């Protein structure tokens, strides 16, 4: 008789108590999963932004360094007007020698965007020598590149409005690189990193008058 009384006194959880405990556990797990998902999305977004910034900055550095020499050793700003616009920049320089001939490697360059490979391409009409053209990828994972031209004349220092077509008076070029970031769940879609760099053509007629 005593054993029976002891067994009745020791009772387990009821179905209601188990259901309540399971509900609380599921809520806690759901909150933890939500916080983890947000943290992971934020980490992916920042990683994507860093990659985009790195790509854009690398492209600007390469282009700016070479474009600044446009017209070097020549009597004009070096821009090939008929072959340059807001999506393509073709320029000449005479960096290897001073005989007025731009037939050496690196002296006849065109930068443009290739939408198929999502890359900025550099076309060297001379390549490793005369009549040996060479096309190379400067940087990939780029969404677009844009060139804007600022014309200066006389000795005026007023900043002109940008144009999509260069002229013989172009003395500064703005290069804008856009990198679209991948869409990440939980983050604002269609984000992009846009960087610009203004490159002064040191050998343009206007800039030569400033010294």
Phi, psi of 31 (to 5 degrees): -65, -40
Query: Residue 79 has what pLDDT?
Result: 95
Q: Please tell me the predicted confidence (pLDDT) of residue 187.
A: 62
What does the CA dihedral 115, 93, 171, 202 come to, rounded to 10 degrees?
Answer: 120
**Residues 6+ positions from 143 with CB-CB distance below 8 Å:** 118, 178, 179, 180, 192
Give the model's pLDDT for residue 192: 77
Q: Which residues contact 38 (CB under 8 A, 6 or more apart)?
A: 186
Q: List, for residues 13-37, the tens digit of each pLDDT value.
A: 678 777 887 888 888 887 777 776 6
- pTM of this prediction? 0.73
Residue 108 has a pLDDT of: 93
pLDDT of residue 123: 94
Using alpha carbons, list the distances in angstroms from residue 106 to 74, 85, 89, 110.
15, 20, 14, 10
Cα-based distances in Å from 54 to 66, 181, 198: 19, 12, 18
In the chain (211 residues long), the average pLDDT of successive 10-residue segments reads 53 74 82 69 64 77 90 90 96 81 89 90 83 82 90 72 93 89 66 86 67 48
DSSP state at residue 117? T
């Amino acid at each position: 008789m005593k054993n029976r009384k002891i067994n009745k006194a020791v009772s387990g959880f009821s179905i209601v108590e188990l259901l309540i405990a399971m509900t609380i556990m599921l809520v806690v797990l759901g909150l933890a999963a939500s916080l983890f998902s947000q943290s992971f999305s934020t980490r992916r977004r920042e990683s994507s932004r860093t990659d985009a910034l790195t790509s854009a900055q690398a492209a600007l550095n390469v282009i700016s360094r070479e474009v600044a020499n446009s017209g070097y050793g020549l009597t004009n700003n070096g821009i090939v007007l008929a072959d340059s616009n807001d999506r393509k920049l073709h320029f000449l320089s005479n960096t290897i020698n001073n005989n007025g001939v731009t037939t050496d490697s690196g002296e006849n360059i065109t930068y443009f965007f290739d939408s198929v490979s999502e890359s900025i391409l550099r076309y060297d009409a001379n390549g490793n020598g005369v009549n040996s053209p060479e096309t190379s990828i400067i940087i990939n994972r780029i969404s677009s590149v844009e060139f804007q031209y600022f014309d200066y004349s006389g000795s005026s220092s007023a900043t002109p409005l940008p144009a999509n077509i260069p002229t013989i008076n172009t003395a500064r070029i703005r290069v804008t690189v856009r990198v679209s970031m991948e869409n990440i769940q939980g983050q604002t879609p269609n984000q992009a990193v846009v960087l610009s760099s203004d490159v002064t053509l040191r050998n343009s007629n206007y800039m030569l008058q400033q010294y």
